[in-house]
A and B are shown apart, each in its own frame.
Chain A
Amino acid sequence: MLERAAEQGVPAPLLQAVGISKRFGDLLANDAIDLDLWPAEIHALLGENGAGKSTLVKIIYGLIQPSAGELRWMGRPVVLDGPAQARALGVGMVFQHFSLFENLTVAENVVLGLPPTESFAAVSARLAELSRAYGLPLDPKREVWRLSVGERQRIEIVRALMQNPKLLILDEPTAVLTPQEADRLFETLERLKGEGRAILYISHKLEEVKRLCDTATILRLGRKVATCDPRRETAASLARMMVGGEIGEVKSGAGRSAAGARLIVRDLSLEPDDPHGVRLDRVSLEVRGGEILGVAGVAGNGQDELFAALSGERLVDADAIHIDHRAVGNLSVNDRRRLGAAFVPEERLGHATAPRMSLSDNALLTGHAVTDMVRHGFINRAATLASVDRTTKTFDVRKSKRDPEAVSLSGGNLQKFVVGREILREPGILVVSQPTWGVDAGAAATVRQALLDLAARGAAVLVISQDLDELEEIADRIAVMFEGRMSAPLAAAQADRETIGLLMGGSSLKPREAAHAGA
């Protein structure tokens, strides 16, 4: 390959991964992966969670060493002992989970990513200039914990750009951005590409990849499936390659008729209980029986506090929350469950389940008040096991034995279990937060279908999600949270992305005022 390229006078790829393999114990996270990255090209790395994207990228950035295979930088083999070496070559990385230091200032964060030869003052000046030039405004003296998610990502990008990288790696950069913020990011990336830099863009958002990327490499279960031009593929064909089969289409329950309101929240205000939290400010909403209400918004705008208030983890005024016309704001989680409500929090491990306890014990933890799992104070083991079996069968939970520890299940299977555990009790009201966060497409489809079916049977379902695609797929109405306030809901059919995006960015909460004026 190389020789041929040289003969034809074509330069070698900027970075070439040849037969990269990485083994963690029994798991082969990367299996002989080849990847060519060229200058002035945006190259997508596609794959489901656990497909091996992060592992491959960490190898390219020198964070972990491959078990086998070779990296070539501009045609020459290199061994990367650490990120400092990768950066010296010209590799920059923007992490998915920000690698920022919350208690340090923007400038201090940037300085730490640079070689120690440049003085602090010089770095600050260059930072200001660079952030202006690329339209990424930042105040160097601000501490990071005061900044929004979008601003934090800007720091990461500027930090990477300060090293003038030839290759920039971005790990799911739009996962936490509003659509408008994502658009601005794409403009910046196009510009970087125009300057001749190579960009490796990790994502599982297919539309985004089709729009932005010149080439796509698709991974599945640690293996490379294909390299293709994403603009010539359809979203469906890309998805097929990612998943290795068809994804079940979610069928919305046509002819669902919304009945009266079953969950009503009226002027719910709540102070946060930790210093990083968000204050809920007169949140009002109604969920009717047979309806799914979606709550959109960038994470950290009060969704956690809203969930805590709805589930009874934090108590509020009795009248702030009504379930089936009973004031429940000051009732405990179990009292609300007895009224037919069920709750699925965002974190699967540590909140929805106790990681090191068996599934049957975990079933007991949310079911003891409202099922036959406890009799006269004693655990009815047969009932807890039966409940696990039922959930397993109905929701196709795959596990190694009948009653394993929660932590041993994969993310998708555990999510099917925690959602299924509640749905099998046929709740009248279900509040679920990020129902398909970080799960594979197959499990996501199962969970969404289950939510739709539950609503079709007359339950009121409230879905808090950052994933707009998901809400558009299953919600009847969508409301947006921003800084602890809630917009008036929009009918999903009429809610276009731009409007929702503006609401997510907080630029307008007018629909709510308009609704009030009209009422």
Chain B
Amino acid sequence: MGLLESIVLAVLAASTPLLLAAAGELVAERAGVLNLGVEGMMIVGAACGFAAAWLTGSIVIGALAGIAAGTALAGVFALLTLGLAVNQVATGLALTILGVGLSGLIGAGFVGERIAGAPHLYIPGLTDIPFLGRILFGEDPFVYLSLAIVVGIWWFLYRTRAGLELRAIGDNPASAHALGLPVLRKRALAVLFGGACAGLGGAYLPLAYTPFWISGMTAGRGWIALALVVFASWQPGRLVAGAYLFGAVTILQLHAQGAGVGIPSQFMSSLPYLATILVLVVISRTRGRAGAAAPASLGTVFVPDR
């Protein structure tokens, strides 16, 4: 296997959890809900996913457990911010703290355990094509699933009535309510979907990326996913490009360290985060009209008057 091939494979793997979590958050934010608890939902998904897979020996059950855990945590968020109209920013931050703590508790008995990671696709003939075969037909199923989810989200947002209603609610919940759209119900569903995606993205880490559990293994990927949504201007297509770009930065710094570039490894490890900050600054400076990109009601509480 050539160096380039292995780098591309590693980039795809490193990008997938980011893409999954960011795709879910994109839907929630399109509905006008800013859930800063992505990191918390991811790590709980990772812990529950690993625990379930270790206990049952099934990667599928592990993934489902990760989804369920992320969804459950998102349910808490929805209950607070939509049901009780609590501030979204504060609740999201608290959710992350809660998630990190919970994951330590859940994962305490599994530290150091290993499982067999998710198998990679193998289609005789196709996968054997030099270079492209491994990249196109030899990934683990999560990679394909993440891309399918993004395509599905695009189709949902721009080709279905329900997606149009979701965008309308994110733009102006008061008007949507006046038209008779169920604002809070749709927002809740969007938040739950976001939680499911974040849980799955988190579960990807111990199920496929590095098949063992260590506490804190999401290592800030939830925050990068949040930044990615802004980077993508809330467009699913750009989300894919952004996720792979960030995955590439992560992998390149590993290779640079391996190649003995004379830069402290701590600095190299912080590159993805620096890139996040840089991209956000550049975007906010160059964007002509902020309103065209961000859902207008993002982060605002909506209480229907009765």
Contact = CB atoms under 8 A, between A and B. Distances in A.
Interface of A: 63-65, 82-84, 87, 95, 98-104, 108, 111-113, 116, 120, 143, 145, 275-276
A84 B176 CA distance: 11
8 contacts: A84-B179, A100-B175, A101-B168, A103-B291, A111-B164, A112-B168, A143-B292, A275-B289
B54 to A, nearest CB: 45
Contacts, number: 63
Contacts of B165: 112
A63 B168 contact: no
A277 to B, nearest CB: 11
Contacts of B175: 98-101
A102 B172 CA distance: 8
Contacts of B168: 101, 104, 108, 112
A100 B175 CA distance: 7
Contacts of B295: 103
Given A116-B161, A275-B288, A82 B180 contact: yes
A161 B7 CA distance: 59
Interface residues of B, number: 23
Contact of B171 (A65, A87, A101): A101
Contacts of B180: 82-84, 87
A83 B180 CA distance: 6
A113 B176 CA distance: 9
Given A101-B168, A112-B168, A145-B292, A65 B178 contact: no
In the A-B complex, list the 6 residue pairs whose CB atoms are closest, starting with the nearest: A84-B180, A99-B175, A275-B289, A101-B171, A83-B180, A101-B168
Given A64-B305, A275-B289, A112 B181 contact: yes
Nearest to A85: B180
B147 interface: no
B172 A100 contact: yes
A109 to B, nearest CB: 8
Nearest to A119: B161
B159 to A, nearest CB: 9
Contacts of A276: 289, 291
- Grouping DSSP codes into helix (H, G, I), strand (E, B) and loop, the B interface class, with mixed when no group exceeds half, is helix
B285 interface: no
Contacts of A95: 178
A102 B164 contact: no
Contact of A111 (B161, B176, B288, B290): B161
A143 B291 CA distance: 12
Interface string B267-306: 0000000000000000000001111100110000000011
Contacts of A63: 178
A99 B178 contact: yes
A82 B182 CA distance: 11
- Grouping DSSP codes into helix (H, G, I), strand (E, B) and loop, the A interface class, with mixed when no group exceeds half, is loop
B89 interface: no
B227 interface: no
Nearest to A113: B179
B174 interface: yes
Listed residue (A99, A103, A113, A275) with the most chain B CB atoms within 10 angstroms of its CB = A103
Nearest to B169: A101
A99 B179 contact: yes
Contact of A112 (B179, B291, B305): B179
A108 to B, nearest CB: 6
Contacts of A87: 180
A246 to B, nearest CB: 36
A102 B171 contact: yes
Interface in B191-227: none
Interface string B125-162: 00000000000000000000000000000000000010
A432 B178 CA distance: 34
B167 interface: yes
Contacts of B179: 83-84, 99, 112-113
A321 B164 CA distance: 48
Contact of B172 (A99, A108, A116, A120): A99
Contact of B291 (A100, A104, A108, A275): A275
B296 A112 contact: no
A145 B292 CA distance: 9
Given A83-B178, A100-B175, 9 more contacts: A65-B306, A84-B180, A101-B171, A101-B175, A103-B296, A108-B168, A112-B168, A145-B292, A276-B289
Contacts of B305: 64
Nearest to A103: B171
Nearest to B172: A101
Contacts of B292: 103, 143, 145
Contacts of A100: 172, 175
B64 to A, nearest CB: 32
Contacts of B288: 275
B178 A108 contact: no
Contacts of B306: 64-65
Given A63-B178, A113-B179, A102 B291 contact: yes
A99 B289 CA distance: 21
Interface in B80-112: none
A142 to B, nearest CB: 13
Contacts of A99: 172, 174-175, 178-179
Contact of A103 (B167, B178, B181): B167
Interface string B251-266: 0000000000000000
Contacts of B172: 99-102
Contacts of A64: 305-306
B295 to A, nearest CB: 8
